[in-house]
């Protein structure tokens, strides 16, 4: 959990000088959006198409939907 909190939630800095979660790594949205069918689909597809360091698809399967306390009830409806 400490690693996820590093860099104000973007994770530790990698060898490329960018944090783990960065738009350049295609693992974070450029902007936030409301939770819904369309946004969760986009997020899930992006995770499944995530590439590893060698350039191959790692096919990440999402297990958690992390939201701030204000969105907890809304998020629970989608989970």
Asked if residue 41 lies in contact with residue 33, where contact means CB atoms within 8 angstroms, the answer is no
Asked if residue 25 lies in contact with residue 34, where contact means CB atoms within 8 angstroms, the answer is no
pLDDT of residue 73: 94
pLDDT of residue 76: 92
Neighbours of 23 (CB within 10 A): 11
pLDDT of residue 4: 67
Confidence of residue 46 (pLDDT cuts 50, 70, 90): confident
Range list of H helices, the chain:
2-9, 37-48, 72-78
The encoded tokens of residue 59 equal 């096919």
CA count, 13 A, side-chain hemisphere, 77: 6
Confidence of residue 32 (pLDDT cuts 50, 70, 90): confident
Q: Where are the domains of the chain?
A: 1-31, 33-79
């Amino acid at each position: 959990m400490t690693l996820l909190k590093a860099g104000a939630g973007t994770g530790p800095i990698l060898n490329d000088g960018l944090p783990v979660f960065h738009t350049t790594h295609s693992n974070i949205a450029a902007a936030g959006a409301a939770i819904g069918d369309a946004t969760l689909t986009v997020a899930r597809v992006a995770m499944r198409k995530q590439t590893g360091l060698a350039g191959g698809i790692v096919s990440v399967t999402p297990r958690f939907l992390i939201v701030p306390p204000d969105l907890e009830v809304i998020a629970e409806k989608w989970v």
